[in-house]
Structure 1
């Protein structure tokens, strides 16, 4: 029996709403994307673009007073947005697992790291003995290359370095061998050497297990190294998506162009990097028309009148810009 070519995860028109005194506001607004089997989807954008809220919406962990107001999240043929809380708990860990941004706040400081990994395993295998769970937890620590895993099993989060805590989070996330791993800024606050080690580890574990990965980051260098496909988010929406080659070699949304122009390149001699003026608008104060037009060097009057949808520019490459294909890409990037 052959392996299905259908994507492992499909997000269709997802809207995550928060109730306020002024009415509902959308932190995630009509996002659609797919995650292929065994591949990595990079989701990029500045802070405040909705990346982390999208991941929490997929996991069914939107904090109150937020809720998923429209759309579907399909893990294979299972509609996650239609599950009961108990049904969603059964999916977390075994179907989808998540590495949160800051391991020091995600790990419980009053429990050993071993107990926390065992707890995650026990939730999906209540019949296993304590000795078996302990052995599997130590094996999980060994898989993420933590030295002396038997000793580390009994240590508390504050006794570990930042890189070690991140490895514990990865071990916990992979303890039940999920089909999809969501890594939300997995290298935040780590130095470049440890960051490289964590990325190498994720890549090796993906090759070993065949899992799919959603990598959420603002670091385009990490995306270039890890991602097969990329979705660029701005103000709660996906404004461009395509293969990594599409995004890095032929960016078509002005926001993507600006992000790429701000990256130093060792092969280029430039006195000054590009920058994007202004900041991401909050969801309760979005501009009329294209949400990026107040910061866009290519904006024209029509950009202020209608928020453009994603449209196909080439097979698999989409951008939400009325001026795409952008003729000034090369000039903007040099």
Structure 2
């Protein structure tokens, strides 16, 4: 591992054995997260973003299982740890903000009880009073007003933005080194989204933690991420520093995603859409998995899976047509 890498994922594969055959939800992913930086992971629904995060945390639901690869946290392979050892890693070293704060919080337990539950696991010698004080401090850290009162309230008494702040407080209560934020702004209005993103940036600056930000919102990832990985059908299609990816995208799928976003510096009658949809994981096409939707596709695209190739420093794309002229778009190719 490079000295600046906090987490490194090597050849990770997660599969589900079903009546339709073997489903490869995560299929040979290699990624790294640098200390104190943010890795953005983007792609359409069904591309494997959330399953990748669950694989890192070893929370893959049955009948799924991790079949291959390594997940190295500061050189320690999490896939080789015992259940008890992994329980200490979750929350203590890696924490996760799950999708949908409205449903991720338990409605029958108070906010305070849910925050102190994780803290109790990682601080078994702490008294109830100490845990309460630390939980209230965590609520203050995420800018929740009147934290002493909120400690005893239930999720239904809080707004969506406040519930998301509670989820962040729970995740950061034990001061993890890595935070995985899975769609942290989903179902929140624009002003609350901005507040949550500002909060994550401030907490990252204060604590020095690394963040994996999983989202389908390219605006969010452009604002937050130092590096970006574009996932498609369980594989990395493109990986690059954030600025390089937006200024010089080198995979047709990335071009399509960027073309679907409104821009103030362009006049268009309609937004560009990528034809078709992500294939189900039990019916991936042969060759490049994007080729049925790609107007740049040629014969060899249908037979061989293209490997990630480095096109510039830190910029990789899995496309045999790369480098692609950046003045082109999927609309031009069509």
- The interval holding the TM-score normalised by the smaller chain is over 0.9
Question: Residue 8 of structure 1: SS of its match in structure 2?
Answer: strand
1:262-301 matched pairs, under 5 angstroms? 262-301=260-299
What is the match of residue 8 of structure 1?
6
1:26-65 pair list within 5 angstroms: 26-65=24-63
Q: Which of 179, 186, 203 in structure 2 is aligned with 1:188?
A: 186
Please, which of 201, 207, 231 is the counterpart of residue 199 of structure 2?
201
For structure 2, the 5+ residue unaligned runs are none
* Corresponding residue for residue 108 of structure 1: 106
CA-to-aligned-CA distance 1:97-128 (integer Å, 9 cap, x gap): 00000112211111001010011100100100
1 CA distance for matches of 2:136 and 2:206?
A: 18
1:38 Cα deviation (Å)? 0.1
SS in structure 2 of the partner of residue 109 of structure 1: coil
Q: Identify the match of residue 212 of structure 1 among 210, 213, 219.
A: 210
Q: Is the 8 A contact 2:58 2:79 kept in 1?
A: yes
Q: CA offset at residue 85 of structure 1?
A: 1.1
Q: Between 318-327 and 19-28, report the one with greater CA deviation.
A: 19-28
Within 5 A, what are the aligned runs for 1:112-131?
Answer: 112-131=110-129
Distance 2:76 2:3 in 1: 16
Q: CA deviation at 1:84?
A: 1.1
Q: How far did residue 21 of structure 1 move? A: 2.8
Is 1:331 aligned to residue 328 of structure 2?
yes
| TM-score, normalisation: structure 2 | 0.97
Question: Matched residues in 1 for 2:260 and 2:110: separation?
Answer: 42
2:252 corresponds in structure 1 to 254
Deviation at 1:323, TM superposition (A): 0.3
- 1:141 paired to 2:139: yes
Q: Deviations over 1:4-61 (max 9, x none)?
A: 8330000000000101134422100000000000000000000000000000000010
Q: Give the Cα separation in 2 of the matches to 1:5 and 1:268.
A: 42
Taking the aligned partners of 2:112 and 2:85, their CA distance within structure 1 comes to 26
Match of 2:228 among 227, 230, 238: 230
Say what the alpha-carbon RMSD is for the aligned residues.
1.1
What is the alpha-carbon distance in structure 2 between the residues aligned to residue 267 and residue 204 of structure 1?
30
Residues 56 and 71, structure 2, Cα contact 8 Å, conserved in 1: yes
Relative to structure 1, the CA distance from residue 324 to residue 162 in structure 2 (aligned partners, 3 Å threshold; closer, same or farther) is same
**TM-score, normalising length from structure 1?**
0.97
List, as ranges, runs of 4+ consecutive aligned residues in structure 1 with deviation greater than 6 Å: none
Whole-Å separation in 2 of the counterparts to 1:193 and 1:6? 34
Between Structure 1 and Structure 2, how many residues are aligned?
330
Q: Distance in 1 between matches of 2:293 and 2:20?
A: 26
Classify the secondary structure of the residue corresponding to 2:16.
strand
Match of 1:243 in 2: 241
Contact 2:41/2:229, CA 8 A, preserved across alignment:
yes
Pick one of 162, 165, 183 that aligns with 2:163. 165
Kept in 1, the 8 Å contact 2:39–2:211? The answer is yes
